[in-house]
Amino acid sequence: MYFHVALDGVWVGGGMYSPDTSQLQAEREHIAANIKRFRAIVESPQFKRVLGTLDGEQLQRVPRGFPKDHEAAVYLRYRQFLGGKEFPAQFACSPGFYKGIVGVFREVAPLVKFLNEPLLK
C-alpha cells in the first residue's frame, strides 16, 4: 500500500512496483496457476469502478516458459502489478482525504494479498 502527495496531485494505491527476477517469476507462476482468482480481483466491477484497470510496465510478448496462448497471457506480460487512483492536489487538504485513502486501500487490498502469497511461502 502506498500514497504519494505532491504539488501536482495525490496517488493512492498498491501492488508490486519493482520485483526482482525471482519474485517476478514467482508472481507470474502464481498468476498462471490461479488465473480465475486473479481475474476475479482485477476484473471485478468494484476494482474497475474505483481503480480502473491493472497498471504497470509490460513486456511486448509473453515471457519465456509460458505458452503464447496461455489464458493468463495478458497478465503474464506485466513486470509491475499496480492498482491505484489519482486525485487532484487539493484532495490532500480536503475533509475526505482519510476516507478516500482508506477506500482505495480497501479495494487494492485483495490484489496485494494475492501478490504476497507466493512470496510468503
Evaluate if residue 121 carries a pLDDT over 80.
no
User: What's the rounded Cα separation, in Å, for the pair 68 and 91?
Assistant: 43
The DSSP 8-state label assigned to residue 84 in this structure reads E
Per residue in 59-68, pLDDT (tens digit) is 999 999 999 9
pLDDT of residue 79: 96
Domain boundaries, the chain: 2-119
Burial class (CB in 10 A: 0-12, 13-18, 19+), 50: middle
Evaluate if residue 99 carries a pLDDT over 80.
yes
